[in-house]
Structure 1
Amino acid sequence: MDLQAVLPPGVFPAALRRLPQMYLKMSGDPLIAGAMGLHGVSTQFTWFRTFLVIEELFQLPLFILGIYMLKKSELDSSNERGRVATNHGLDSPYVPVLLTVYGAHVTTTMAPVLATILATPRNVLDITEKTSEFSSLNMYQLSIMVAESIARASKMAFEASQLVTGEERVAALHAIRQSLEENKTVILQANKQDMEVAQTLVEAGKLAPSLVKRLDLASGDKWDSMLQGITDVANLPNPNGVVTYARKLDDDLELYRVTCPIGALLVIFEARPEVVVNIASLAIKSGNSAILKGGKESAKTAHQLSLAIRSALAKSSLDEYYIQTVSTRDEVSALLEMDDYIDLVIPRGSNELVKSIQHSTRIPVMGHADGLCAVYLDETADVNKAVRVTVDSKINYPAACNAAETLLVHAALLNTVWPKVAEALLTNNVELRCDAESLDSLGELAQARPQLVKPSVPSDYKTEFLSHTLAVLTVPSLAAAVSHINLHSSHHTDSIVTENQENASIFCRAVDSAGTFVNASTRFADGFRYGFGTEVGISTGRTHARGPVGLEGLVIYKYLLRSSSGDGHIVGEFGVGEGKKRFQHTEIPTKGAPF
């Protein structure tokens, strides 16, 4: 079968026109060939197929352009024949071929909008009609159409899941873990490819080295921790259906406040590919559907992870659109306008990312911003604790948002505790950017390591380095330390090293951060370490959820009111006048709603 014969002449370079034929020769896919043979290789299908075979270059704009040309070609060819174009809908032969050819990469987001577009009726009897509701759309409007399809599918999947039991959700999580284990080789291979591309960008000065560390899914115990996180989430109590308030309003009239899911989530994150699995697990367990957008640096890894998740969901009680992934900024920009379908946006990344999203949407945003964490060495700090807590806070995983970026040193420690802490940090190749006082107190130690000990500049104290760099500042008092943290930090996590319990109490109450620690590393600020199983992010906001956000941060509540009276209950029966009932408001001892 010569596919070139049906391509519109002159519309593609010859090399591109050969791609469909080359693909079929290499793949020998009988289903594709059979579909083409049965239904005929129409001009409009070949247009679309040509776009699909360029898999490595496949992106949303290319897809939209393919659909546009498909529809335009349908109109042109129908006009030439002088008859009404067929109303291709969900029964169109192009849809199953599309699903077969491009599989899960397209099905969750593109197939519904493709079917909708193909089903758009058009009267082409009037040869002068050159435009239509679809063909007159610009690329932005087409992006909105695709985004609306994604968002609607997510909302419908959420609504369809409300009667899925907790046991069925746990089964889905176990299936996801098994699917990931079965696909480990291909996932890590994709991760290796992402790492290679990222390293090239680092060498070209276009990407920070710290981001490469976040990408690596095979380093240390990251893979095993990711899988264990799924199991831990599965083993957590069901967060839904928990009664947080129960009152008897009247005889046979009971009120219950019960936890329930939020709805459809849009989660945007940078670099770390394991976040796909973390958030998918939390969303499934908490009863929320989710649309995930990772950083372009981890695109191949995220794609393979999502394929494994999709494969598991297809065998579960949940809708296959329950967890979806998108890959372009255009999709995200359009999704941020879908407040009719999306209930909460969770951005994980820099302050710039969070602020940009907050200014771009009407949807509530649960922000996860920079992790500008500080450690304060109080004047009563024990030297051993000071060394251990400071070093761990900085070097355990410098690229994490809960790593320390600023060290505040009480002036009384400049000649005692501080030099020992500095020596331990320098031994671990940490670059110290010191104010004048802390720099002078290091003396020969600073002279021996000039490449690692440097004077600080004001911007260092509001910079998230995400590397082996630490800003050091001398402070005269606890009050000065608290003031500096509240002024410069991102309100993430801050720690005090002290032997004075009153100072510890003052620090924890006065520092306005989501986490305040005493004699403990800032690296403990993590949902897994808190026992949440895993986390969707760390919120530095002040409403709904704060700090590491696990299952509890992904549920809200609803009120259930039940009358078991034979006549029901009406408000008109209650009041202060004669013959009126009074509300009883007595507590009902229960943990679960009885209906």
Structure 2
Amino acid sequence: MEAKIYAESLAKKAKSTVRKLSSLKTDIKNKVLLKTAELLIAYKDKIIEENKKDLADAEKKGYSKALLDRLALDDKRINQMVQVLKDVESLPDPVGEIISMWTRPNGLKVGQMRVPLGVILIIYEARPNVTIEAASLCIKSSNAVILKGGSETINSNRILVDIIKEASRECGFPEDAVMFVDSTDKEVVTELLKLDNLIDVVIPRGGENLIRAVAENSRIPVIKHYKGVCNLYIDDEADMEKALNIAYNAKVQRPSVCNAIENLVVHKDIAKEFLPKIGYYYKKAGVEMRCDEISYQILKDHPLTNDAKIIPAKEEDYYEEFLDLIIAIKVVNNIDEAIEFIEKYGSHHSDAIVTENYTKGMKFINEVDSAAVYINASTRFTDGNEFGLGAEMGISTDKIHARGPMGLKELTIPKFIVFGNGQLRENVGIPKEEEEINIDTEACKL
């Protein structure tokens, strides 16, 4: 019962701000974003101190290095959060934007205007920077947000939300528009997911188990951010230098995130040249290579990959989101086989081809059914900030109004607006004889 009361209290407070948010001026929203950025710098030491508590607890519980990396905050990452706030502040406000307008033969002017989604519940794990990203986007798009971070970041998230609320009070922004689930009781989430009368959209951002649990138990529409089994295909007409750099960057630069590649797919005609070279660089970076039969035979006794971590791949490896220095390798006969592989094992997140053949590149773009598809670039760019969106609420792999990184526009929906001048459907109005009735106003007086 306590969890139910607490959940309803959070949702009702958020809901109470929706009407005011919808008509809030852009300059107020921008002021609170810049003030939050200012306070992040002022409270930097305190933020790091609280984050250290979360890191210590996570280490005691034996969390992986990849998760600890996602959890950690330092000067650089706090500065990145500050930049996110400034970037979002500088973007155009989507609320009230007229998307289109047309005139009907009867003179009605019909159009579509962007409006906020309403109350958004975001459930996420590990990365406290999501607190700032989600809040900043919701503030700018005039949505109320309920933030439910993981228990492993409770201290970090609490101080970040406190900072947002302090900035809100100083700038005249509705403080309850940013609510925080300051509890690790899992029943609170269960109760929140029942509140379809108060919450408009749920965005789960984390592991596959979390997302499936939310999707299966929510009465509220869910925008899913499923796992990132991203694939990189090296075509036989690839530029070798580009291929090596992209394959290295997409796996090694930050392996613990959803847009890092998990599968490396290589054309058979370039495999004997490419695989030992990338295998050498992967070896130096400590990457474990799980290989199909052909790639295993190429790499296992090659001088460049001597002492590398090379093991035979299992079928399930190609479905796996490792989020670590592990990669599964597959050799294919042609681009069609590569696309079929990606369709079978990928998660429709981000996939890339390296090729100098324009026709093949466009075939890949057209036939790979993913939220983001690349030619000759690293999948690590699938990110709201890198795409110029300021930040992101998540990367939707759903086929709905939002697919890929969700920025400001994806947090709004169109509503129809209609301007008339007395038009009537089929010109049916008050009957003529009724119009001519003369009412004795004196007789109507009491």
Give TM class, smaller chain: over 0.9
Matched, 1:392 2:249: yes
* Equivalent of 2:425 in 565, 571, 588: 571
Indicate the residue corresponding to 2:143 in structure 1: 288
Choose 237-246 or 529-538, whichever is displaced more.
237-246
Give the direction of change, closer, same or farther, for the CA distance of 1:155–1:417 in structure 2 (3 Å limit): same
SS of corresponding position for 2:179: strand
2-structure distance, mates of 1:172, 1:538: 25
Paired residues of 2:352 and 2:374 also in contact (CA < 8 A): yes
Residues in 2 aligned to 1:158 and 1:182: alpha-carbon distance in whole angstroms: 30
Task: Sort the Cα spacing of 1:462 and 1:530 in 2 relative to 1 into closer, same or farther, 3 A.
Answer: same
- Residue 446 of structure 1: CA displacement? 7.0
Residues 374 and 405 in structure 1, CA contact (< 8 A), matched pair in contact too: yes
Q: Distance in 2 between matches of 1:473 and 1:182?
A: 50
1:350 counterpart (184, 195, 207): 207
Matched, 1:516 2:370: no
Structural mapping, 1:78-477, within 5 Å: 141-202=1-62, 207-218=63-74, 221-249=76-104, 253-326=108-181, 327-328=183-184, 329-445=186-302, 449-450=306-307, 452-477=309-334
Deviates more, 1:322-331 or 1:361-370: 322-331
Relative to structure 1, is the Cα distance of residues 474 and 303 closer, same or farther in structure 2, using a 3 angstrom cutoff?
same
Contact 1:164 / 1:317 at 8 angstroms: preserved in 2? no
Matched, 1:561 2:418: yes
1:443 positional shift: 4.6
SS at structure 2 position matched to 1:438: helix
Q: Which amino acid aligns with 1:403?
A: A
Tell me how far apart the structure 2 counterparts of residues 191 and 405 of structure 1 sit (CA, whole Å): 29
After superposing the two structures, state which structure 1 stretch, 268-277 or 221-230, moved more.
221-230
2: distance between equivalents of 1:446 and 1:543?
Answer: 49
Deviations 1:51-87 (A, max 9, x none): xxxxxxxxxxxxxxxxxxxxxxxxxxxxxxxxxxxxx
- What is the alpha-carbon distance in structure 2 between the residues aligned to residue 346 and residue 412 of structure 1? 43
Distance 1:451 1:196 in 2: 32
The percentage of counterpart residues that share the same residue type is 35
The higher radius of gyration belongs to: 1
Match in the other structure for 1:33: none
Q: Displacement of 1:501 after TM fit?
A: 1.1
User: RMSD across aligned C-alpha pairs, in angstroms?
Assistant: 1.7
1:243-302 CA distances to partner (integer Å, 9 max, x unpaired)? 112122357642221111000000000100010000000000011000011111111100
| 1:451 positional shift | 5.4
CA distance, structure 2, for counterparts of residue 414 and residue 528 of structure 1: 34
The aligned amino acid for 1:238 is D
CA contact (8 A) 1:344 1:363 kept: yes
CA drift of 1:444 comes to: 3.2
8 Å Cα contact 1:423-1:445 kept in structure 2: no
Within 1, Cα distance between the matches of 2:3 and 2:273? 62
Q: TM-score, normalised by structure 2?
A: 0.92
Q: Provide the rounded CA distance (Å) in 2 between the counterparts of 1:518 and 1:193.
A: 42
Change (3 A) 1:198 1:546: same
Contact in 1 for aligned 2:280/2:305 (Cα 8 Å): no
Q: Which amino acid aligns with 2:73?
A: L
Map residues 496-511 of structure 1 onto 2, 5 A cutoff: 496-511=353-368
In structure 2, give the amino acid aligned to 1:377: I
Range that drifts further, 414-423 or 227-236: 414-423
Paired AA for residue 530 in structure 1: F
Instruction: Specify every segment of 5 or more residues in structure 1 that has no aligned partner in the other structure, as ranges.
Output: 1-140, 575-595
Structure 2 counterpart SS, 1:416: helix
Aligned to 1:17: none
SS of structure 2 residue aligned to 1:374:
strand
Question: Residue 323 of structure 2: SS of its match in structure 1?
Answer: coil
Give secondary structure in 2 for the equivalent of 1:300: helix
Q: CA 1:443 to 1:147, structure 2 compared with 1: closer, same or farther past 3 Å?
A: closer
The separation in 1 between residues aligned to 2:409 and 2:74, in whole angstroms, is: 30
Runs (4+) off by over 6 Å: none
Q: 1:339 and 1:512 mapped to 2: Cα distance? A: 31
Which shows bigger deviation, 516-525 or 246-255?
246-255
Structure-1 separation of matches of 2:261 and 2:148 = 27
- CA distance in 2 between counterparts of 1:572 and 1:365 reads 40
Correspondence for 2:435: none
Structure 2 counterpart of 1:540, one-letter code: T
- Give 3-state SS (helix, strand or coil) of 2:202's partner: strand
Instruction: Please give the secondary structure, in 1, of the residue aligned with 2:176.
Output: coil
